Amino acid sequence: MNELITHSAAELAAKLAAKEVSAVEVVQAHLDRIAEVDGEVNAFLHVNTEEALAVATEVDTARAAGGAEAGRLHGLAGVPIAIKDLIVTIGQPTTAGSAMLRGWMSPYDATVIQKIRAAKMPMLGKTNLDEFAMGSSTEHSAYGPTRNPWDLDRIPGGSGGGSAAAVAAYEAPLALGTDTGGSIRQPAAVTGSVGVKPTYGGVSRYGAIAMASSLDQIGPVSRTVLDSALLHEVIGGHDPADSTSLTDPVGALAEAARTGNVAGMRIGVVRELQGEGYDAGVQQRFDESLELLRGAGAEIVEVSCPNFKYALGAYYLIMPSEASSNLAKFDGVRYGLRVLPEDAPLTIERVMGASRAAGFGDEVKRRIILGTYALSAGYYDAYYGSAQKVRTLVQRDFDAAFAQADVLISPTAPTTAFKLGEKLDDPLAMYLNDVATIPANLAGVPGISVPGGLAGGLPVGIQFLAPAREDARLYRAGAALEKLLEDKWGGPLLAQAPVLGGVK
Amino acid sequence: MTAVTDEILSFEEAMEKYDPVLGFEVHVELNTRTKMFSAAPNVFGDEPNTNVTPVCLGLPGVLPVVNKAAVEYSIKIGLALGCRIAPSCTFARKQYFYPDTPKNFQTSQYEDPIAFDGSIDIELEDGTVFTVEIERAHMEEDAGKLTHLGGATGRIQGADFSLVDYNRAGVPLVEIVTKPIVGAGSRAPELAKAYVAAIREIVKNLGVSDARMERGNVRCDANVSLMPKGSTTFGTRSETKNVNSLRSVERAVRFEIQRHAAVLESGAAVTQETRHWHEDTRTTTAGRPKSDADDYRYFPEPDLVPVVTSEEWIEELRAQLPEPPAERRKRLKDAWGYSDAEFRDVVNAGVMDSIEETIAAGATPAVARKWWMGEVSRRAKEAEVDPAELGVTPETIVELDSLISAGKINDKLARKVLEYVLAGEGTPSEVVDKHGMAVVSDDGALLEAIDAALAAQPEVAEKIRGGKLQAAGAIVGGVMKATRGQADAGRVRELIFERLGVQG
């Protein structure tokens, strides 16, 4: 155990810049931590030891050279990062958590990976996820579940349970996630970490294996709000390779996080995202956070988003519809698993069928079947068409709410981390865990989850939502709440996590 | 596949009883520099799978980006077809599993094509004009090319294995769809050919496609149905796929009319299905029934934003349109002074462009027509190629003509010279020098030959002396034979009369 791993990315960056520590030391400390605890946590599907150290060495060399070369180094150069294994990387396998892509090596880098490389942030490896990001528990991975560092018998959330657990277990200070219905924010909530879903189009999706194109968004995972802002500034911005990418500049996100002030801010409590269905302990922590924010000068207002109650239903039509189409390419013809049918005849249709039957897990098949059905002739209008109308209504609810409030607030998830296996046979119960995160994806607005305390010894997440392109507000409000709570707790929430491999 | 021989009715009988209704879907491959949604080169004939990027291979994580040039070409096609251009239009996914389609869906347009509601006048060979209404022209991407090896049919069924070349995958296509064409009667097969020829001519003239049918740049699906004479209710249609030469389009439509008529005469119903055209037997065979394969589960392409066309942009493109082919033909006919019949022959022989170029190179309209409709067409027919493809340049013809005018060669020699030019032996002048083909203009040599010919035919010499000047032809023939054609017949005639002391 090395105390280096307990530092935030911002702290590590400062130490590196001051040459108090080398990038190789930082990377090695995290690699050691992974070796030490990941057998239990299973956050990583691949550990990128050699390349991570090589990049760290480059950073150290540049810094030692001083002058212009050192001056060109990005502020986060040498700060290591873990990558959700849904994002394609040259030199490391990209599996999407699926047997379909076991060992698949991408010949190209995602745009965000190009930016990570440009910033010379050593990539520690690829993190576990629900297969093709479909799930809320990381149990639907073909490579075994990831466990919650707070309680190894519990789920770390999903689909990005690997990235959240890696950060919460000090295996990495930063990670990339993807959020289609809450896959960054819900894992952050149940692991006591921070996760941000940027405005749709704010971060290039090029190279993120698509689940639902109109909902997917890459975003940062970290232990502090400032760290997410710093990472967001690295990965954000326009990308000509993504037609849905915004042309806006990224914005001064880290500055907003450093400001961290809610005085005069109107914070809207969404009436429909609390109460029934939300654990009492979750509700309690949420109410306490509201009081703290009020005490810090925020104006707490109640807003109503009446159509949010249809959001989950609409989501479970739009997402599987797009997923059924996006996953059609996995057919064993060009790459990935190829399985020949056991009996004759050997036709291309049957090879595709056998490959998909063997390569996809149950949850993926469930969604492909749902989506295929929803898009079928005669059902399209009733299902996909109606869902898109609901989506418009949800967007209008947001518009109305943001007319009354600068940001909205809710619990990130209705419960704390549940036990492994608890909801595996009840997909609907599993889906309900995303009820508070899904509206943001339907409307394309940004959201953040910050630690809100413990209920029954397990982390609770508080979610802020902001209007599209106003991601900075999330960092301002999130950092303010983080500071208010940490002052109350006397330190970060993760300091209260049980000992794992000798480090708190 | 078992070949079923269909009964057919004679075309005349079919026409007595039924009115054909036609419809065409013509796919035009655009000759943009890169593909529809990726930066891969759009080049025909390269090594398989070399003109590909992750995007056109449909690798995990990729996203499409619309090629602006392809949109411009599509708008030009729309304008040339008299269509309205959509102020905003979207792409959709047409979903089906087939190994030539890397994503297992084709990105196409569905509800809102870029161009719609147009019409073009089609002129048949005898000058009759039909107006064909255009329903829509929409943008989409081509599929890869499959080659099925083993098996008897060359189709995927029964093949031992198949090879796929994705160089063509993602090549921009515009699909031009007509409204039902009624009232063509027995001219229907001719109209079919003329329509496809007109589309080919238009896109070639616009410079937006190489328009080579043998390379699949222009591909036609022909829909045929029959209704009893006097009825206005359309019958059930068949769709004959990929009829890829003008002659085949005419034959396929004719065959389908005869086949439908036989089915209807037998009291049976026409099956709605796709048909495959076989050039060798000049028949069609049944493909898949349309009804149960029609569910493509179209839905809006979430990875692309709408294509928005401003009025200024459209007008800018309209200003770039070249002269329409029909107007150009009228202008050329007037300028060249050809009769209706002469000009129609020129057009039908496909040598109008060649004649235009030859005139531009310095030939008179009469000389250009003499060569292109005469010797060049004759040779092209022998070689079974289009006259323009024979390799005769306008400069060659101009040079041949000036050699004749200068008396250096005669028509007969000129044809021989052309043969050597085509064999790659150089320019006409070089050939004449190299082979010593100049007309014999040395009177001494000619007189020698004349004396010999007169001596050989004394009775002819008597006749000429007696005033029967036309008898000189036999002596001229003898001289030409003796000089192997290299004499100027006019000069020989003069010398004969001089020799015999008569006035020519």
How much is the pLDDT for B289?
A: 67
| Residue B440 confidence (pLDDT) above 80 | no
B128 in a structural domain: yes
B6 in a structural domain: no
With pLDDT > 70 as the criterion, what percentage of chain A qualifies? Answer: 99
| Residue B2 confidence (pLDDT) above 50 | no
Amino acid, single-letter form, for residue B21: V
The pLDDT confidence band at residue B279, using thresholds 50, 70 and 90, is confident
Same domain, B182 and B217: yes
At A244-287, the pLDDT tens digits run 999 999 999 999 999 999 999 999 999 999 888 899 999 999 99
Contact assessment for residue B304 and residue B90, using Cβ atoms and an 8 Å cutoff: yes
Q: Enumerate chain A positions whose Cβ falls within 8 A of a Cβ in B.
A: 87-88, 94, 96, 101, 104, 106-108, 110, 205-210, 212-214, 240-244, 321-322, 324-325, 328-331, 333-335, 347-349, 352, 372, 375-377, 380, 384
Residues of A in contact with B57 (CB under 8 A): 334
Comparing B443 with A280, the larger pLDDT belongs to A280
Q: Report the residue from B65, B105, B157 with minimal CB separation from A240.
A: B65
Q: Report the residue from B64, B156, B305 with minimal CB separation from A348.
A: B156
**β-sheet bridge partners, residue B18:** B228
Same domain, B430 and B459: no
Give the mean model confidence (pLDDT) for residues B382-398: 88
State how far the Cα of A79 lies from the Cα of A312, in Å rounded to an integer: 37
Give the mean model confidence (pLDDT) for residues A364-372: 97
Same domain, B68 and B205: yes
State how far the Cα of B388 lies from the Cα of B33, in Å rounded to an integer: 25
Tokens of A141: 């991975």
| Residue A363 confidence (pLDDT) above 80 | yes
| Residue A502 confidence (pLDDT) above 60 | no
Q: Please tell me the distance in Å from A485's CA to the nearest CA on chain B.
A: 39
Tokens of A407: 């940001």
Same domain, B425 and B452: no
Contact B97 A331 (CB under 8 A): yes
Measuring CA to CA, how many Å separate A405 from each of A283, B50, B151, B364, B378?
21, 54, 69, 82, 84
Mean per-residue pLDDT over chain B, rounded: 91
Please count the structural domains in chain B: 3
State how far the Cα of A63 lies from the Cα of A256, in Å rounded to an integer: 28
How much is the pLDDT for B504?
A: 66
Contact assessment for residue A187 and residue A141, using Cβ atoms and an 8 Å cutoff: no
Contact B102 A329 (CB under 8 A): yes
Test the B interface: residue of A84, A108, A329 with most B CBs within 10 Å = A329
Q: Please tell me the distance in Å from A129's CA to the nearest CA on chain B.
A: 16
The pLDDT confidence band at residue A501, using thresholds 50, 70 and 90, is confident
DSSP string spanning A295-348? Answer: HTT-EEEEE--GGGGGHHHHHHHHHHHHHHHHGGG-SSSSSS-----SSS---H
Query: Which of B312, B387, B306 is closest to B345 using CA atoms?
Result: B387
- CA distance between the termini of chain B: 76
| Residue A503 confidence (pLDDT) above 60 | no
Helical ranges in B290-393 per DSSP H: 311-320, 325-336, 340-348, 352-360, 365-371, 377-383
Contact A244 B64 (CB under 8 A): no
Q: For residue A426, how many other CB atoms are within 10 A of its CB? A: 10
Comparing A92 with A347, the larger pLDDT belongs to A92
Q: Report the residue from B61, B105, B162 with minimal CB separation from A88.
A: B61
State how far the Cα of B191 lies from the Cα of B124, in Å rounded to an integer: 7
Contact A377 B297 (CB under 8 A): yes
DSSP string spanning A411-424? Answer: ESSSSSPPBTTTTT
The pLDDT confidence band at residue A504, using thresholds 50, 70 and 90, is very low
DSSP string spanning A33-94? Answer: HHHHHHHHH--EEEE-HHHHHHHHHHHHHHHHH-HHHHHTS-TTTT--EEEETTB--TTS--
> Where in chain A are the domains?
3-306+393-496
Same domain, B72 and B50: yes
Same domain, B269 and B213: yes
State how far the Cα of A452 lies from the Cα of A282, in Å rounded to an integer: 9
How much is the pLDDT for A344?
A: 81
Same domain, B164 and B299: yes
Q: Residue B372 carries which DSSP code? A: I
| Residue B1 confidence (pLDDT) above 70 | no
Contact A333 B294 (CB under 8 A): no
Same domain, B431 and B487: no
Give the mean model confidence (pLDDT) for residues A413-418: 96
Query: What's the length of chain A?
Result: 504
Q: Please tell me the distance in Å from A317's CA to the nearest CA on chain B.
A: 13
Q: Residue B323 carries which DSSP code? A: P
Q: Report the residue from A209, A243, A347 with minimal CB separation from B65.
A: A243
Instruction: Locate the chain B residue with the closest alpha carbon to A110.
Output: B61
State how far the Cα of A290 lies from the Cα of A212, in Å rounded to an integer: 33
Last residue of a domain, one of B265, B292, B317: B317
Report CA B362 to chain centroid distance, whole Å.
26
Give the DSSP H or E segment for B92: strand B92-95
Q: For residue B145, how many other CB atoms are within 10 A of its CB? A: 15
Test the B interface: residue of A325, A351, A372, A442 with most B CBs within 10 Å = A325
Q: List the CATH code of the domain at A3-306+393-496.
A: 3.90.1300.10
Same domain, B425 and B491: no
Q: For residue B479, how many other CB atoms are within 10 A of its CB? A: 25
Give the DSSP H or E segment for B201: helix B188-206
Q: Please report, for the domain that includes residue B480, its CATH number.
A: 1.10.10
State how far the Cα of A107 lies from the Cα of A123, in Å rounded to an integer: 17
Contact A107 B59 (CB under 8 A): yes
B5 in a structural domain: no
Contact A96 B60 (CB under 8 A): yes
Residues of A in contact with B97 (CB under 8 A): 328, 331, 349, 352
B4 in a structural domain: no
How much is the pLDDT for B485?
A: 78
Contact A349 B57 (CB under 8 A): no
Test the A interface: residue of B98, B299, B304, B305 with most A CBs within 10 Å = B299
DSSP string spanning B136-147? Answer: EEEEEE---EEE
Query: Which of B220, B226, B180 is closest to B199 using CA atoms?
Result: B220
Residues of A in contact with B295 (CB under 8 A): 376-377
| Residue B155 confidence (pLDDT) above 90 | no
Give the DSSP H or E segment for B70: helix B68-80
DSSP string spanning A389-414? Answer: HHHHHHHHHHHHHHHH-SEEEEESSS
Place of tokens 């005769």: B392
State how far the Cα of A94 lies from the Cα of A342, in Å rounded to an integer: 28
State how far the Cα of B355 lies from the Cα of B489, in Å rounded to an integer: 29
Same domain, B371 and B466: no
Q: Enumerate chain B positions whose Cβ falls within 8 A of a Cβ in A.
A: 54, 57-66, 93, 95, 97, 99, 102-105, 156-157, 162, 164, 294-295, 297-299, 302-305
Active site residues of A: 84, 159, 183
Contact assessment for residue B249 and residue B196, using Cβ atoms and an 8 Å cutoff: yes
Q: How many CA atoms lie within 13 A of B274 on its CB side?
A: 14
Residues of B in contact with A94 (CB under 8 A): 60-61
Report the relative pairing of strands B129-141 and B172-178 from DSSP bridges: antiparallel
Query: Which of B213, B210, B217, B259 is closest to B235 using CA atoms?
Result: B259
Q: Report the residue from B59, B63, B294 with minimal CB separation from A106.
A: B59
Q: Please tell me the distance in Å from A207's CA to the nearest CA on chain B.
A: 4
B88 in a structural domain: yes
Q: Report the residue from A106, A107, A325 with minimal CB separation from B93.
A: A325
Mean per-residue pLDDT over chain A, rounded: 96
Tokens of B277: 């055209």
At B323-376, the pLDDT tens digits run 988 889 889 999 999 998 899 899 888 899 999 999 999 999 999 999 999 999
Q: Is B85 helix (H, G, I), strand (E, B) or coil?
A: strand
Query: What's the length of chain B?
Result: 504
The pLDDT confidence band at residue A164, using thresholds 50, 70 and 90, is very high
Residue B337 phi, psi dihedral angles, 5° rounding: 70, 25
B1 in a structural domain: no
Q: Which residues touch A72 (CB under 8 Å, ≥6 apart)?
A: A62
Query: Which of A361, A478, A142, A408 is closest to A266 using CA atoms?
Result: A408
Contact assessment for residue B240 and residue B249, using Cβ atoms and an 8 Å cutoff: no
Residues of A in contact with B99 (CB under 8 A): 331, 333, 348
How much is the pLDDT for B385?
A: 85
How much is the pLDDT for A382?
A: 93
Q: Is the peptide bond before B88 cis (omega within 30 degrees of 0)?
A: no
How much is the pLDDT for B483?
A: 82
Residues of A in contact with B54 (CB under 8 A): 106-108
Test the A interface: residue of B1, B36, B38, B59 with most A CBs within 10 Å = B59
Q: Which residues touch A339 (CB under 8 Å, ≥6 apart)?
A: A332, A351, A354, A355, A357, A358, A359
Query: Cα torsion at A212, A425, A195, A12 (round to 10°)?
Result: -120
Instruction: Locate the chain B residue with the closest alpha carbon to A380.
Output: B297
DSSP string spanning A334-396? Answer: SSS-----SSS---HHHHHHHHHHHHS-HHHHHHHHHHHHHTSTTTTIIIIIHHHHHHHHHHH
Q: Please tell me the distance in Å from A149's CA to the nearest CA on chain B.
A: 30
Measuring CA to CA, how many Å separate B406 from each of B65, B441, B489?
61, 12, 14
Q: Report the residue from A96, A322, A334 with minimal CB separation from B102.
A: A334
Tokens of B47: 């090594």
Same domain, B139 and B248: yes
Q: Report the residue from A206, A329, A376 with minimal CB separation from B63.
A: A206
B145 in a structural domain: yes
Amino acid, single-letter form, for residue B356: E
Q: Reading across the β-sheet that carries A123-127, which strands appear in turn?
A: A44-47, A123-127, A81-84, A174-178, A218-222, A194-197, A447-455, A458-465, A407-411, A266-270, A299-303
Tokens of A17: 């810049």
State how far the Cα of B431 lies from the Cα of A34, in Å rounded to an integer: 83
How much is the pLDDT for B410?
A: 82
At B286-298, the pLDDT tens digits run 987 665 457 899 9
Tokens of A42: 């299973």
| Residue B439 confidence (pLDDT) above 90 | no
| Residue A291 confidence (pLDDT) above 70 | yes
Reported pTM: 0.87
At A171-220, the pLDDT tens digits run 999 999 999 999 999 999 999 999 999 999 999 999 999 999 999 999 99
Give the mean model confidence (pLDDT) for residues A135-158: 97
Residue B476 phi, psi dihedral angles, 5° rounding: -55, -45
- CA distance between the termini of chain A: 10
Q: Tell me whether residue B11 is exposed, middle or buried, using C-beta atoms within 10 angstroms of its C-beta: 0 to 12, 13 to 18, 19 or more.
A: middle
Report CA A494 to chain centroid distance, whole Å.
18
Residues of A in contact with B93 (CB under 8 A): 325
Place of tokens 């010894």: A457
Residues of A in contact with B104 (CB under 8 A): 328-329, 331
Same domain, B308 and B280: yes
Interior CA angle at B169 toward B163 and B171, to 5°? 145
Q: Please tell me the distance in Å from A330's CA to the nearest CA on chain B.
A: 8
- The boundaries of the domain holding residue B340 are 323-435
The pLDDT confidence band at residue B496, using thresholds 50, 70 and 90, is confident
Helices and strands, number each (H, E), in chain B: 17, 16
